[in-house]
Structure 1
Amino acid sequence: MFANVSETAVEEADAPKGHKYPLAFDARPAADLTDIDLFTRGQPFEAFARMRETAPVCWHDEEMGAGFWALTDYHDIRKVELDTKTFSSQRGGILMNYGSADARHPLLHRASLDTMICLDQPYHIPLRREHMPFFTPAYIADLRKRVDIKVASLLDDMEAKARDTGQPIDLVEMFSAELPLFTLSEILGVAEADRPKLVKWMHYLETAADTMRKGDVIDPEFFGAFVQNVLDMFEYGKTVLQARRKAPKEDLLSAIAHAKIDGELLSDEMLDGSWLLIVFAGNDTTRNSISGTMKLLTEFPEQKQRLLSDASLVPNMVHEAIRMVSPVIYMRRTATQDAEIHGQKIGEGEKVVMYYGAANRDPAVFEEPDRFDVTRANAKDHLAFGMGPHVCLGQRVANMQLECAYRQILTRFPNVEWTGEIEIAPNNFVHAVSKLGVNLGL
């Protein structure tokens, strides 16, 4: 019988530090990739490049935890993604480190493990299959019509505010956060009145690690609000999923509610995990890709001009923008047996962390990788959505939203540009743009 991942996950906070085999590459990490403040300046692409050149499989110590192997080479990451028997998602989860037991939020920690993304075979694919009808080309074509209408409405609101105030607008607040929320809610079947709750919950999930700390002291006010919002989020998910079990509808929530593992409906723990995954993954990555694309179009004005001259380039631009932004910074796997990557021997039980932004700027695959090129022939080859059995199920939805967004934005506001104002949340798992100032060029 299937056991919840959280019941079987290996606890690593007190695991012995270090690695089993000698280092094949005599170089240390070019940046502390456990430092969440580092990522408030964007992803450390220069550090990734140095590591790829000097130690593509680089040992990285941790203050808490045993340490991990940091991968920055495109082909190494592709190899690990495809070899799910040797490199497990289920054994230790997909986060770099889950911290010590006394520092975790028990419900959030358990749910983060009890989710489809943390399952190996034979459980992952059958559960994934339950979601797939809501990500087919036919379903997405119908969804696109509703997304186009929502994009136009959001742009109306942006223009009205810009004209009213004469000031730049915050693209995240008025557009990037709103569009994925709408799309996800349409797929899930979340009532319109409840949709703003998802934005609030995402805020607390993304900023908790930094906001709760002030020096070495926890901010009690934020901590209390964080705990309450986490409880509210899971209670809402549990309520709607149980309601769908009794009265299913034609939506993804009903598919999740009736999904089975080993012939049995998902446990309450797995329902919590499914709810957390869909809320976080469905909102966060698209939002940050939308914001990151605006920044790129301003930094590379000649590429923006090419799009204005030829709108048929927009679909390829979407792939290229996602390559450059790489909204999910990493995923972690755990070796189920002794293995070897790029000449480096990896011990059974050791963690392997794949840095997608590094892979997507590997010059062995992408010529002039730091250049935004909307005509790049192999832009689709990026690994921002992963690869293999765990490739992002919602990638077509994400691509569709970006295409709808920028077709209309560039048509309606051809002189739009990023003001230079940007705020990035301290988060080393997702590139979380929390504010982006934009002039519409009216």
Structure 2
Amino acid sequence: MAEATTPLMVDLDPATVPLEDIDVSQRELWSQNKKYPFFKRLRDEAPVHYCKESEFGPYWSVTRFEDIMEVEQNWQSFSSDPTIVIQDPEEDFELPMFIAMDPPKHDEQRKTVQGVVAPRNLQNLESTIRSRVQTILDDLPIGEQFNWVDRVSIELTTQMLATLFDFPFEDRRKLTRWSDVATGGPETGIVESEEQRREELYECLEYFTRLWQEREGSGDGNDLISMLAHGEATKDMDPQEYLGNLVLLIVGGNDTTRNSITGGVIALNENPGEYAKLRNNPSVIPNMVSEIIRWVTPLAHMRRTAVKDYVLQGQQIKAGDKLVMWYASGNRDERAIDRPDEFIIDRARARQHLSFGFGIHRCMGNRLAEMQLRILWEEIQKRFHKIEMVGEPERIPSNFVHGFSDLQVVLHPH
């Protein structure tokens, strides 16, 4: 991995730093929430921008909504293989997963597990989610400060994930840990070394291999592991590929919803007028959910690798070049979204956002994520006048998972 020699972006003025020096991948921009002015500058002056030196090597930034859509839809020119994150995979530790594959293999593997979020299955899950949400909320202390991320965001998404995998409920926090380890290396403070990270991911594989073996012989279950064990396209996966797809399903089922649950509380606290609007009209919740997901953009980027030369916005992309589609920027692009820097819970066309991706890789669990958030806010509004944010949130030092590790709140009942 190349050593970063660019100056720290957080110390520079986004308006005057030379364009060629801008490196929006720097973690400090994300942990301190200072990236948006840099993205605005790139969208206005260099929508397809080349960063020649970064911690992750050279890369192109694609920052406008329409350009991101163009790259997303053209998998023939921009491949998801070998990885969908800015960081290159370790050569001796590759984790193949269907999101980092192109058709036809991508389509076959995705189809195997898609049934878990089919409309009928979602319908069956609704009452389970609601009763869990009710239990979690009723268990919270009133008038006392606590960490919303841990007590609500992580707890709800981890319970949901345990249900989708039919994973032993008492061990469900292992899923949270594996999700954090999968998306965060030593530089994020999650693990102390790359060796520790691998060890913990192999523990994950070992645990899930036992579950696979139990289910392989027991008919067609409708949990994710049974689907993988019986699916034509997945039943003969090697262990690394099984681990890769587990990581994908754990992170996909966890991080997006978890960080939207926290981000929604922050957005409403920063916009008291919108919070009042919600109190006066709870029927706006389904629309607000889409606005929260846009506003938070829980996965900040997806990466593609050019497989052929291509001209995008007048820039010559060469085969082999790395392109980073910054969803966090596309979702704030005033060319595609009206007043994008404002949080508006009754926004028209609120579902027009990039947070779930687009094209063949569009997030498989998007409806499940929306449903969890909708039910959560319906139940919150029945119980609490306000979730008051105390102090500033702690953000994860990651340019991929756009998330939070701590949000101190106090609940005020009606």
TM-score relative to the length of structure 1: 0.85
Q: 1:202 to 1:310 in 2, by over 3 A?
A: same
What's the RMSD between the two structures over aligned residues?
2.2
Contact persistence 1:308–1:411 (CA under 8 A): no
Partner of residue 147, structure 1:
129
Residues 48 and 177 of structure 1, relative CA distance in 2, 3 Å threshold:
same
Is there any run of 5+ residues in structure 2 with no aligned partner, and where?
A: 3-16
The CA deviation string for residues 264-308 of structure 1, in whole angstroms up to 9 with x for no partner, is 722222211111111111111110010000000111111111111
Match of 1:257 in 2: 229
User: Does residue 173 in structure 1 map to residue 150 in structure 2?
Assistant: yes
Note if contact 2:278-2:284 (Cα within 8 Å) is conserved in structure 1: yes
> Is the aligned partner of 1:208 residue 2:190?
no
Q: Which residue does the alignment assign to 2:311?
A: 340
- Contact preservation (8 Å) 2:117, 2:365: yes
Distance 1:50 1:169, change over 3 A: same
2:84 to 85, 88, 94: 94
Partner of 2:164: 187
Pair 1:331 & 2:302 matched: yes
In the alignment, what sits opposite 1:44? 35
Between the aligned partners of 1:32 and 1:354, the Cα distance in structure 2 is: 14
Decide whether aligned partners of structure 1 residues 129 and 122 sit closer, same or farther in structure 2, where only a CA change above 3 A counts.
same
1:57 and 1:207 mapped to 2: Cα distance?
27
Aligned mates of 2:314, 2:362 — CA distance in 1: 26
Q: 1:348 to 1:276 in 2, by over 3 A?
A: same
Give the Cα–Cα distance (whole angstroms) in 1 for the partners of residues 18 and 117 of structure 2.
Answer: 43
Deviations 1:204-249 (A, max 9, x none): 3455333559xxxx95xx7775454223112112221232222242
Between the two proteins, the alignment pairs up a number of residues equal to: 398
Shift in Å at residue 43 of structure 1? 6.0
Quote the sequence identity (%).
Answer: 32
Partner of 1:33: 24
Letter in 1 for 2:228: I
Q: Distance in 1 between matches of 2:184 and 2:361?
A: 26
Correspondence list, 1:17-32, <5 A:
28=19, 31-32=22-23
2:391 aligns to what SS in structure 1?
strand
Matching residue's letter, 2:216: R
Query: Which segment is superposed worse, 222-231 or 382-391?
Result: 222-231
Q: 1:43 to 1:242 in 2, by over 3 A?
A: farther
Q: What amino acid maps onto 1:375 in structure 2?
A: D
CA distance in 1, matches of 2:19, 2:105: 37
Cα separation, 2, equivalents of 1:207 and 1:368? 33
Which aligned segments of 4 or more residues in structure 1 are displaced greater than 6 angstroms? none
Unaligned stretches of 5+ residues in structure 1 = 1-12, 15-25
SS in 1 for 2:355: coil
TM-score (norm 2): 0.90
Please tell me the residue identity of whatever aligns with 1:384.
Answer: S
Separation in 1, partners of 2:235, 2:408: 49
Match of 1:319 among 273, 285, 290: 290
Distance 2:20 2:276 in 1: 38
Counterpart AA for 1:96: I
Query: Is 1:400 aligned to residue 371 of structure 2?
Result: yes
Secondary structure of the residue aligned to 2:76 is coil
Deviation, structure 1 residue 381:
0.8
> Residues 203 and 266 from structure 1, CA distance in 2 versus in 1: closer, same or farther, beyond 3 angstroms?
closer
Aligned CA distance change for structure 1 residues 294 and 206 (closer, same or farther; 3 Å): same
Distance change in 2, residues 1:397/1:87 (3 Å): same
Distance verdict in 2 for CA 1:345–1:286, change over 3 Å? same
1:128 to 89, 110, 134: 110
Q: Which SS does the other structure have where 1:333 is aligned? A: strand
